[in-house]
Structure 1
């Protein structure tokens, strides 16, 4: 149903499918030829949607509490990263090393199990904060519904590690949709 709304816009099939998967419909309401997309749950609108890199992250940026964003949080948190060696801190290019930096302890008020999500988002734990092994970005606090990959993107959109991970977010969500995850 949501995908049908994109029929009247200039087609970029993979892009429109990615927006539809994370809850958006094409509204066509704009003087700009590309129109807008609006979430069917939280009713937030994204303008210039065709220029955005990853629809899930754009949705997160405007309303991280939306049920669509939270439904896919486990998918994004569970996305296994590739090892990346063009790095700032050469002790942590491997996921296992980043996970071990937490020492098995829950840190920074992260919900149980989110240490692995932090490591998958490129972070290791040091001096009461999360630090990206690649770009050096530091995050000092995290809240319950935070998706750490998205928080990383908010403060360091040009991180080379994220450049590899971000295209995989839409692929993981698409795979989840194809395998039967129901809308929130």
Structure 2
């Protein structure tokens, strides 16, 4: 992919980057490219997206703060093609997981809410709705036509190559489908951190899928590519939020079919179902951009 090249990442910033206090050369050197939306940058190797940069932010430390497992920052083997290997080695944090230069990298749970938030941006937002994903399956192999509804429901669209499908949210690509494969199970096995998956399936289901899939089976790798967004959280909400009434007050305000069961953060509005929540980039009520979406569980 072209963004494996540092020079290609650098080109995305030229004449477009407006945050002069953040050195985009350092961003590009350490895996980031500009996606063209506000001040959002994305890492080619861990696929984290970071925005809302502030004066005084250190690009490498903020990257490591939100994606401590980034293979490039951890000096693991990647397909990165640097322009200057010496400059890259100087920019990367030391091998110790606790230090980034002179700044200590806190655990994810300790991150201050004032830090730049991780933007919730699906890998392919134009396929966020089931209708859009369904239209991609016109050339899907006829012998597996019966799988289309379950693939669409699980967040996948057809790439047009063989039996390869891709998740609109996390970007994981899966092929070589077998007759008894369950799309939700395969999704959980190969990308348990997917935001869409976590909104539609509970933690127990995902953990069970991962646990039941042996390492031996994983060597037959169906996974081709993953776009990660690891900082999802789940909230258990009290029944005081209400479960709706006969007038449909608890219906999703986007599709008016499913019950509202997600909350946009930081505004806290509860207006969408899990299927629709990722189809918008602003809260439908206050029209403010959100930085996270959490699943609600009514007791």
- Asked if TM exceeds 0.5, the reply is no
Structure 1-normalised TM-score? 0.41
| Structure number, greater radius of gyration | 2
Higher RCO, 1 vs 2 (CA within 8 Å, ≥6 residues apart): 1
Q: TM-score, normalised by structure 2?
A: 0.26
